């Protein structure tokens, strides 16, 4: 199977999801809760929705990579490690010395809101269990550690990195799942799925543990195989293009009605529609925003946006708080400053850390010929 080309709809979606998370964190930090706003703006108050769609997209992308590249487990893991760790470690290095600074920033706010005690507790636990947290976070496996053994382990130091730990856990097992599918070893795959199901329901996991979110990666993996089937049978399916393209959205609305799945399937149906009906006027019109270069660029730097924005938020809030007593004015100024600084910082980190790291990972992965390869 040849590697599929980049899908612009998904690239743009990643960038928009990153901005969604930024808006959510800025607003809740300022004591503004968008979930009280009228729809669709009220969705901005649910940053977890955006992260869930990120996870679904990851399932799609990783299975597409495994299917399109003939490489060993070693090669895959080297490339994935250099995809995540350089930016993550940079943010961790910056975040660790800022723990006390962040506590002071929250305490200096002119208003108190429900999230403040929890945030202060997380940073306090980061200091109290410093070395245990640091070791767990350096390995990026902190998300799998239950909080009863290490308090606040999901969110210590770099709060949003719980989902990056989740990604890393998925990378560790994704090639094995792909191997079972490729060799039609569905018994092993089924037993593994049952094991994850039992782990999820009989043990208490935090949000960053794979058993808790494996079903979202599964949605993305299934979406990839559906997309591949459509590409491989395009000539046969084209007469029924509108029906085939709308099936994922219909299924999500009527049989799996959660906001993240519905939003993902809305874009996914558009992708299938453009594959089957490239000349359809309505689809061309609907897909135009997804082809816009600034949006595509946001998708390219979305990982850096996601990882750096909290650091930028606390620094900006620390210096802006003394000048604004009105909550809504503070929110407006904080939003403009944090968004601008986050985009600038992310562009620099992406250019000088993220993509050079990915290039280095590719060179190291291909340094010597592997003894065995994953099946294509």
Dig out the tokens for 251 from the structure: 């299924």
- Residue 319, classified by CB atoms within 10 Å of its CB into exposed (0-12), middle (13-18) or buried (19+), is exposed
pLDDT at 65: 93
Dist. CA 149–CA 156, nearest whole Å: 14
Residue 61's pLDDT band (cuts 50, 70, 90): very high
What is the reported pLDDT for 2?
58
The domain limits of the chain are: 8-208+292-364
What is the distance between the alpha carbons of residues 61 and 6, in angstroms, rounded to a whole number? 10
The tokens for 316 are 């900006």
Residue 243: pLDDT band (50, 70, 90) is very high
* Cβ(259)–Cβ(43) below 8 Å: yes
pLDDT tens sequence across 262-279: 999 999 999 999 999 988
Let me know: does 321 contact 109? Beta carbons within 8 Å.
yes
Alpha-carbon distance of 122 to 133, in angstroms, equals: 11
- Specify whether the CB–CB gap between 11 and 267 falls below 8 A: no
Give residues with Cβ within 8 angstroms of 84, minimum separation 6.
140, 164, 167, 168, 171
pLDDT surpasses 90 at 229: yes
- Residue 287 has which token pair? 């897909």
User: Which of 303 and 197 is assigned the larger pLDDT?
Assistant: 303
Structure confidence by residue, pLDDT tens digits, 16-30: 999 999 999 999 898
Q: How far apart are CA 352 and CA 354, in angstroms?
A: 6
CA–CA gap between residue 253 and residue 20 (Å, rounded): 22
């Amino acid at each position: 199977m040849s590697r599929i080309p980049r899908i612009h709809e998904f690239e743009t979606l990643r960038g928009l999801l990153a901005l969604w998370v930024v808006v959510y964190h800025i607003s809740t930090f300022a004591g503004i809760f968008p979930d009280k706003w009228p729809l669709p703006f009220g969705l901005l108050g649910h940053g977890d929705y955006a992260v869930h769609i990120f996870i679904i997209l990851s399932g799609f992308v990783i299975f597409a990579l495994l299917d399109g590249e003939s490489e060993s487990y070693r090669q895959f893991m080297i490339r994935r490690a250099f995809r995540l760790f350089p930016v993550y470690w940079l943010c961790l290095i910056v975040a660790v010395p800022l723990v006390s600074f962040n506590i002071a920033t929250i305490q200096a706010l002119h208003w108190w809101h429900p999230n403040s005690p929890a945030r202060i507790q997380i940073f306090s636990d980061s200091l109290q269990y410093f070395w245990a947290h640091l070791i767990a976070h350096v390995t990026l496996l902190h998300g799998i550690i239950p909080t009863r053994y290490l308090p606040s382990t999901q969110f210590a130091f770099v709060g949003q990195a719980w989902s990056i730990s989740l990604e890393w856990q998925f990378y560790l097992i994704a090639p094995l799942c792909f191997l079972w599918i490729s060799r039609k070893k569905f018994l092993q795959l089924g037993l593994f799925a049952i094991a994850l199901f039992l782990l999820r329901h009989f043990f208490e996991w935090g949000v960053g543990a794979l058993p808790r979110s494996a079903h979202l990666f599964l949605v993305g993996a299934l979406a990839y195989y559906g997309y591949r089937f459509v590409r491989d049978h395009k000539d046969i399916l084209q007469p029924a293009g509108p029906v085939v393209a709308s099936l994922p959205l219909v299924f999500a609305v009527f049989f799996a009605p959660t906001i993240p799945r519905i939003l993902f399937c809305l874009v996914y149906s558009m992708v299938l529609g453009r594959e089957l009906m490239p000349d359809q006027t309505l689809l061309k019109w609907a897909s135009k925003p997804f082809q816009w270069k600034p949006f595509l660029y946001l998708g390219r730097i979305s990982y850096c946006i996601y990882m750096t924005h909290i650091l930028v938020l606390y620094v900006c809030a620390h210096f802006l708080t003394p000048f604004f007593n009105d909550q809504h004015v503070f929110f407006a100024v904080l939003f403009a400053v944090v968004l601008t600084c986050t985009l600038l910082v992310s562009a620099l980190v992406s250019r000088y850390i993220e993509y050079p790291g990915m290039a280095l990972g590719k060179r190291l992965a291909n340094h010597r010929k592997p003894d065995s390869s994953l099946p294509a």
